[in-house]
Amino acid sequence: MLETLNPQPQDKILQLIAMYRDDPRDTKIDLGVGVYKDATGLTPVMRAVKAAEKRLWEVEVTKSYTGLAGEPAYNAAMVGMILGAGFAERAASVATPGGTGAIRQALELIKMASPGATVWLSNPTWPNHPSIIKYLGMKMAEYRYFDAETRGVDFAGVLEDLGKVAKGDIVLLHGCCHNPTGANFTADQWAQVAGVLEARGAIPFIDLAYQGFGDGLEEDAAATRMIATRFPEVLIAASCSKNFGIYRERTGVLIALTDPARRAVVQGNLAFLNRQNYSFPPDHGARLVTMILEDDALRADWKAELEEVRLNMLTLRKTLAEELRKATNSDRFDFVADHRGMFSRLGLTEAQVAVLRETHGIYMVGDSRINIAGLNARTVPILAAAIAKVAG
């Protein structure tokens, strides 16, 4: 049987990690992989997470199974963090292994409820979106998103393409901090997008993987909350990997907003999907998140550290934009300071990306996406000078 399998194409980011690892130069800079790093290059365990782990070790008396949908307290805490108060009656939710698990369950729910629906993705988007949709054999389409000239959102393209969405189609939107571009809708643009989707009878599906990494914990949820208020049905796949720094604990949630009268059936279907795929979702990360969100002191400390992380990335953006102004003697790269989240797509060619890697030891994804958090005060001017050399 297994002899029928073909080799899978190598994952581009994993390939990049291997090339970086094998590069002997001690001046090399890794702007590839999508994890937050502090100025020393460490992806730290957050203070509140450490404190919650210690407390959990003291109070935990059993590791017996949790509920099929996860612990109700976790789901409620996540609905509260993402949507604020007032959605409990409409929200069905399940704990999932990371944001990826939530996306996968959302897509399977769509497939169960509406097998013929097309899922619309921004072009570009996180490569795992089309990959899972393809694997599930679902229909997909793309809407234009990125303006290669301005490196901002091609909003005319967005409106034109979303104007072609059919009734009942699903439109996947990045709730904040678009991956891979870093370019995001303004509040006014979000309202216009909501208007088009309403007019077309589409169902919004929001991927929220970076709440707290863009403009703030509440600010980054504003678009999701607006959509949640305006639409009768919304799917939200959220990840705790980044904002709690618990990448390997696999902690996410899928929320399906529906009519209160239908909530119990939707909830039952979400639990059914968990049962089919892995039975009980992982609990350790979810429990830490619940402890932090429910405890005033832990929550305050977590929020303060998340804000440090966010402001660190914002400072790096500002200094990189300034250094690029100096190095290129132009304002062509000012967009770096306007982008939000961990990533920016610089708009370099594949050949320029290759020169940066081979000649300068600077590693970024082939589409010229950089991880801002891979930089520090020392490396920002080095990157700016190298970019000016290859693209100045």
Q: Does 179 bind ligand PMP (CB under 6 A)?
A: yes
Which residue's C-beta sits nearest to ligand PMP?
A: 98
Tell me: does residue 207 bind ligand PMP (CB under 6 A).
yes
Residue 182 interacts with ligand PMP (CB under 6 A): yes or no? no
Q: Output the smallest distance, CB 79 to ligand PMP, in A.
A: 17
Q: Residue 105 or residue 387: which is nearer to ligand PMP going by CB? A: 105
By CB under 6 A, name the one of 75, 93, 100, 290 that touches ligand PMP: 100
From residue 332, alpha-carbon distances to 58, 149, 269, 384 in Å are 54, 10, 50, 12
Shortest approach of ligand PMP to residue 101 CB, angstroms?
Answer: 7
Stretch that binds ligand PMP, among 92-100, 110-118, 135-143, 310-318 (CB under 6 A): 92-100
The minimum distance between CB 379 and ligand PMP, in angstroms, equals 22
Cβ at position 280, least distance to ligand PMP in Å: 18
Q: Which residue's CB is nearer to ligand PMP, number 286 or number 384?
A: 286
User: Nearest approach, Cβ of 242 to ligand PMP (angstroms)?
Assistant: 7
Q: Which is nearer to ligand PMP, 158 or 177 (CB)?
A: 177
Strand partners, 252: 96, 239
Tell me how far, at minimum, the Cβ of 160 lies from ligand PMP, in Å.
24
User: What's the one-letter identity of residue 367?
Assistant: D
336: which 2 tokens?
């770096």
* 96 touches ligand PMP by CB under 6 A: no
- What minimum distance in Å lies between the beta carbon of 207 and ligand PMP? 5
By the rule CB under 6 A, 99 interacts with ligand PMP: yes
For every residue of the chain, which 3-state class applies, written as one string?
Answer: CHHHCCCCCCCHHHHHHHHHHHCCCCCCEECCCCCCCCCCCCCCCCHHHHHHHHHHHHHCCCCCCCCCCCCHHHHHHHHHHHHCCCCCCCEEEEEECHHHHHHHHHHHHHHHHCCCCEEEEEECCCCHHHHHHHHCCCEEEEEECECCCCCCECHHHHHHHHCCCCCCCEEEEECCCCCCCCCCCCHHHHHHHHHHHHHHCCEEEEEECCCCCCCCCCHHHHHHHHHHHHCCCEEEEEECCCCCCCHHHCCEEEEEECCHHHHHHHHHHHHHHHHHHCCCCCCHHHHHHHHHHHCHHHHHHHHHHHHHHHHHHHHHHHHHHHHHHHHHCCCCCCHHHHCCCCEEECCCCHHHHHHHHHHHCEECCCCCEEEHHHCCCCHHHHHHHHHHHHHC
283 interacts with ligand PMP by CB under 6 A: no
Establish if 105 lies at the interface with ligand PMP (CB under 6 A): no
Per rule CB under 6 A, is residue 379 in the interface with ligand PMP?
no
For residue 263, CA distances in Å to 33, 62, 72, 90, 267 come to: 38, 30, 15, 6, 6
Q: Which of residues 20-49 bind ligand PMP (CB under 6 A)?
A: 34
Write out the binding residues for ligand PMP, residues 229-258 only, by CB under 6 A: 239, 241, 247, 252
Instruction: Compare residues 177 and 391 and give the one whose CB is closer to ligand PMP.
Output: 177
Catalytic machinery residues: 126, 207, 209, 242
Where on the chain is the footprint of ligand PMP (CB under 6 A)? 34, 98-100, 126, 174, 179, 207, 209, 239, 241, 247, 252
